[in-house]
Amino acid sequence: MNAYDFTVQARDGSEVSLSEYQGKVLLIVNTATGCGFTPQYDELQDLYEEFGAQGFEILDFPCNQFGSQAPGDDEEIHSFCTGRYGITFPQFAKIEVLGENASPLFRWLSESTNFGGFGKGPMALMMNGVAKKMDKDFKNNGNVKWNFTKFLIDREGNIVARFEPTDMKKLKDAIKECL
């Protein structure tokens, strides 16, 4: 199984096979518009502009499961992201990434990766506390812990790396390596 085996829902409700992205390096991200990590949209757009012509795509999946931080409908979320952050990468319909209604794509991403920790520093300490309140065993499973968890997929559709919301520094080098 790989990323190309999944079908997701576009903002307009139509079905999109991820096989349409075959041969590209993908960054699959669950996002929210009212999160402390929302300014990462600027960094993501910069990456998209820098690497898009080399076969890099960012697939954005808004999710309201963490602190109800993506409360709008799909068009409101898209308008916010394009207006405030100027995103031009594909944004899909809002989904769930945890629980029984989790998107099959995110279920596969979560089950196929390990949580690597939030790193060091004040933000990491805060996120550890938040994650522990939601899941006492959070360090020992691959469940998505918060908004802006990123999964890097190679040109063959395989998961290469997982980046927690607090980890943007290593992302660019990992993308370059895949390209």
Hey, which residues are catalytic here? Answer: 35
Tokens linked to 24: 């590209």
- Pairing state of beta strands 25-31 and 56-62? parallel
How far apart, in Å, do the first and last CA atoms of the chain sit?
21
Helix (H, G, I), strand (E, B) or coil at 9: strand
Q: What is the dihedral of CA 144, 47, 32, 138, to 10 degrees?
A: 20
Query: Which of 134, 162, 157, 135 shows the shortest CA–CA distance to 25?
Result: 157
Q: Which two tokens stand for residue 57?
A: 């795509």
